[in-house]
Structure 1
């Protein structure tokens, strides 16, 4: 039996110096474009470590190989309702998830290696276009928030 997911997650907006944002398309839902996301592995897992782990698992980008400070905690969190079709992954009765936002600046020549069971395609898009293409409105909001602050 698979381990139940913890209803605390991270969302990581990965971007280049020119403000292009990486979006990845889910394998289990066609045309569902998003930033890197993932649940904590343990209730006490450090949020930044969870963000770095998810980035590596989903894109092959090793945060520890990037300059110090490349991964930034946006100090913003949202709570949202878990889609009914995905609630089976959580303990019975869990319907809401708390998501913590991060940003990761990568060099222009950064390569992406997708986890094929999770994602089937990726694109680098100008941040405004990326925000519009996200399936999740809050993912789009995270992208816009990142660039409204700079």
Structure 2
């Protein structure tokens, strides 16, 4: 099984700019294309830089959350500030989180790799904890040896 830890985290807030993913949740190619197009747009039009200027740390959050039956995808940062163009203030609860660490050649590769490991390997095999919904995030933490490194944070409950 992939390397992971279970960590207690305090509640935190992520300010996000998002998009609704319209592909079926089983259409990984479609979902990944929508996410890539979204990230390209927020980088090119300056919205990501605007978000980063409000951040309390250097982390960039890629958040997935079901909202009113819609699959939402956000670029976000940890901050207490707000922004008119922000789509959502995302509250992450205090509690236990599945934390998966990794690295990739790009932010997109890191996010896809960690999501695949967490939802494709760890959670299906987990015997004593489960993901029951709520926002989950890939947290890009920086560059090391030419690779993007970070973690996936998924709120869990003990079975």
Structure 1 length as normaliser, TM-score? 0.29
Larger RCO: 1 or 2 (CA < 8 Å, sep 6+): 1
- More strand by proportion, 1 or 2? 2
Structure 2 length as normaliser, TM-score? 0.28
